[in-house]
Structure 1
Amino acid sequence: MKVVNLTYPVEDKIAKSKIVLALGFFDGVHLGHQHLINVAKNIAEEKHLPLAVMTFDRHPVEVYADDHAFQYIDTVDEKAEKMAKLGVDYFLVMKFTKQFSQISGQDFVDHVLVALNAETVVAGFDYTYGPKDVANMDNLPVFAKKRFEIVKVPKQTFDGKKIGSTEIRKAINEGKMELAYDLLGHHYVMSGIIGHGKRNGHKLGFPTANLVWQNKKAIPKIGVYATRTKVNGQWYESMTSVGYNVTIGQEKRIYIESNIFDFDEDVYGKPMEIKWYKYTRGEIKFDSLAALKEQLKKDQTGIKAYFANHLDK
């Protein structure tokens, strides 16, 4: 898969042939997104054309609503990794600027979709490319002027509710990691590097790898989780704490610390991924470090039992 960074207006074709182009922001690349991309992939295979997927480098709400506190399920790199696994040929990342946010629906079609040499455009029923009352899927044929085919993918649901990134972010923030899994079709993952902590876990006999993550990622609610953690290219069972270290009394900031089972290596500065499975308890302020240590033993025993009864999906 080739990753292509785009700016508006698009001036160069990305492929020698025409393309099948799937549109969306695709945060999380959840089950609804996977269905849409598979629809586009089937069309591409039938027409013997490459499949391209286009997203933006940031969510439009950051520009339209000046909302810089927006939480992402995926970084662009995480999104690209998922697209590659889905068999996408070109992953297009359009730079979303103030200027780009102000173009008309016709400009978007003429200077993006047509400029990319789209033969077929595939998008969800609610996809918009400008003012939603005008630049919507119902009006896309008017702007397209028969220059490409259009496939509108209907709403995808789970348990009677729409599968959407908003619902998934809410599940993550509420610690409902099993619901997040059901909607995503895979476990939520946070990635980053291993940073230096206060080494309090080492003192207690439960050394932790401290995740330094991209600060706009959705964060699970405060508490302890059954997780798997990837270091040195290998996944290990682990228990991960999201919290403020209230017993230790450190500064008011969130820490994500993974105690990796059956692992004892110096991995500071190396990449780490955390795959979130289940919320096990909230954060507790203990009267002593001895009481905290006793609870950590119980946490580890319980999480090991959880994984013994739940094969990795």
Structure 2
Amino acid sequence: MERYDLSIANITGQLPEGASKEQGISLAIGFFDGVHLGHQEVVRQAVSLARQQGLVPAVMTFDPHPRVVLGHGSQYQTVLTPLADKLELLADLGVEAAYVIHFDHDFSEVTAEKFIKSFISPLGVKATTVGFDFSFGHRGEGNADTLRLYGNGEIHVQVISPVFLEGDKVSSTRIRDRLADGECHDASLLLGRPYVIKGTVVHGDARGRLLGFPTANLEPEQPYVIPRLGVYAIYVDVLDDEGFSEGRYTGVLNSGFRPTFDAPGGALKLEAHLFDFDGDLYGRQLALTLDTFLRAEKKFESIDQLVQQISSDSAQAKEIFSVRSED
């Protein structure tokens, strides 16, 4: 899938190689943070329509989150799926082209009518697919009916109803809340896949190795939503230069501020201890899959107590993965 950057000053209207404007586009529109079950339904319907009508299946999304730019939500400084992850997931759903609009204050002033005439119509869009709560344009003045109105009958608009799981609507906010509670399994059900954090291994103080539990100190490369602080049973994929897994390991993750060693106000650290791994990971990219929350982070009165707790955490995680492998 190719990525195209559009801006209010530079509307390129590019299409995938071999496609033409005359062929037309079936376009799913949205921010799609998490690409969760609800988002997936929107995208799948756009792809299905493209297949039926011989159109190019595409997505238009925005970066960064509009609420960040408009100052309406500091929590959206972090995301469930950074742009690169989002594009990979969209490609897996059959999307062939992605139009990424840089959302800034200038773009926030674009009216709904201008958005359609300047950003949608020039691409040769024949069909759009949006979620039930979709809005666009200055102050959110536009909706699905507005798309139909200013599309002058030339753009088919389909609206996808919300997806419900266990009686409640699937949403990015619900997923964030589940992660804040350490409920990895619930978050995974809503996402339709496990929650993953990617980053690069950086040098730490090597204290874990001295304690007998060497850790990989992960520095996230993007502003991921960090779940509830504490200790998790995790899967760890060591990635190659193209982002593919070279090997998967189990382990434990401590996400927090290390109160036993560090003074209050320090930086958040993600420290992963990999079981059955012996090697150098510095500078390597890892993908951490959060499986099970084990306990909250706490301050220990002695190093011996900490070592005993880490041993207990590791044993608990190994038991979880042992049972999982037997299922």
User: Aligned letter for 2:25?
Assistant: I
Among residues 180, 192, 196, which one is paired with 1:185 in the alignment? 192
CA distance in structure 1 between the partners assigned to 2:41 and 2:304 by the alignment: 50
Instruction: Say yes or no: does 1:169 pair with 2:151.
Output: no
After the TM superposition, which residues 99-248 of structure 1 pair with which residues of structure 2 at under 5 Å, given as runs? 99-131=106-138, 134-214=141-221, 216-232=223-239, 233-248=246-261
- Residue in structure 2 matched with residue 305 of structure 1 by the alignment: 319
CA distance in structure 1 between the partners assigned to 2:271 and 2:227 by the alignment: 12
Measure how far apart 1:303 and its partner are: 0.4
Measure how far apart 1:146 and its partner are: 0.7
Alpha-carbon RMSD across the aligned residues, in angstroms, is 1.8
Unaligned runs of 5+ in 1: none
- Residue in structure 2 matched with residue 29 of structure 1 by the alignment: 35
CA distance in structure 1 between the partners assigned to 2:28 and 2:326 by the alignment: 31
Instruction: Say yes or no: does 1:263 pair with 2:277.
Output: yes
Instruction: Say yes or no: does 1:39 pair with 2:66.
Output: no
State the SS of the aligned residue for 1:284: coil
After the TM superposition, which residues 267-278 of structure 1 pair with which residues of structure 2 at under 5 Å, given as runs? 267-278=281-292
- Residue in structure 1 matched with residue 70 of structure 2 by the alignment: 64
Measure how far apart 1:257 and its partner are: 0.6
Do the aligned residues in 2 keep the contact of 1:69 with 1:216 (CA within 8 Å)?
no
Measure how far apart 1:131 and its partner are: 4.5
Measure how far apart 1:215 and its partner are: 5.7
| Identity %, equivalent residues | 32
Q: Residue deviations 1:238-295, cap 9 Å, x none?
A: 1101111111235622111100110011110111111111111111211111111111
Q: TM-score, normalised by structure 1?
A: 0.95
- Residue in structure 2 matched with residue 4 of structure 1 by the alignment: 4
CA distance in structure 1 between the partners assigned to 2:267 and 2:96 by the alignment: 41
Measure how far apart 1:8 and its partner are: 2.1
Do the aligned residues in 1 keep the contact of 2:4 with 2:14 (CA within 8 Å)?
no
Do the aligned residues in 2 keep the contact of 1:13 with 1:115 (CA within 8 Å)?
no
CA distance in structure 2 between the partners assigned to 1:52 and 1:265 by the alignment: 42
Do the aligned residues in 1 keep the contact of 2:6 with 2:12 (CA within 8 Å)?
no
Measure how far apart 1:68 and its partner are: 5.1
Measure how far apart 1:132 and its partner are: 5.9
Do the aligned residues in 1 keep the contact of 2:27 with 2:57 (CA within 8 Å)?
yes
Do the aligned residues in 2 keep the contact of 1:5 with 1:95 (CA within 8 Å)?
yes
State the SS of the aligned residue for 1:207: coil
User: Aligned letter for 1:5?
Assistant: D
Measure how far apart 1:6 and its partner are: 1.4
Measure how far apart 1:67 and its partner are: 4.6
Q: TM-score, normalised by structure 2?
A: 0.91
- Residue in structure 2 matched with residue 295 of structure 1 by the alignment: 309
Measure how far apart 1:129 and its partner are: 0.9
Residues 312 and 21 from structure 1, CA distance in 2 versus in 1: closer, same or farther, beyond 3 angstroms?
A: farther
CA distance in structure 2 between the partners assigned to 1:52 and 1:153 by the alignment: 16
Bigger mean CA offset, 98-107 vs 64-73: 64-73
Do the aligned residues in 1 keep the contact of 2:82 with 2:222 (CA within 8 Å)?
no
User: Aligned letter for 2:257?
Assistant: Y
Do the aligned residues in 1 keep the contact of 2:217 with 2:271 (CA within 8 Å)?
yes
CA distance in structure 1 between the partners assigned to 2:229 and 2:14 by the alignment: 47
CA distance in structure 2 between the partners assigned to 1:132 and 1:62 by the alignment: 14
Measure how far apart 1:41 and its partner are: 1.1
Measure how far apart 1:138 and its partner are: 3.1
Do the aligned residues in 1 keep the contact of 2:181 with 2:228 (CA within 8 Å)?
yes
CA distance in structure 2 between the partners assigned to 1:116 and 1:140 by the alignment: 14
CA distance in structure 2 between the partners assigned to 1:253 and 1:81 by the alignment: 30
- Residue in structure 1 matched with residue 94 of structure 2 by the alignment: 87
CA distance in structure 2 between the partners assigned to 1:197 and 1:133 by the alignment: 45
Measure how far apart 1:121 and its partner are: 0.5
User: Aligned letter for 2:4?
Assistant: V
User: Aligned letter for 2:306?
Assistant: L
Bigger mean CA offset, 216-225 vs 228-237: 228-237
State the SS of the aligned residue for 2:144: coil
Q: How many residues align?
A: 313
User: Aligned letter for 1:64?
Assistant: L
CA distance in structure 2 between the partners assigned to 1:46 and 1:8 by the alignment: 32
Among residues 294, 308, 327, which one is paired with 1:280 in the alignment? 294
User: Aligned letter for 1:37?
Assistant: V
Q: Residue deviations 1:80-112, cap 9 Å, x none?
A: 111121121012211111111101100011111
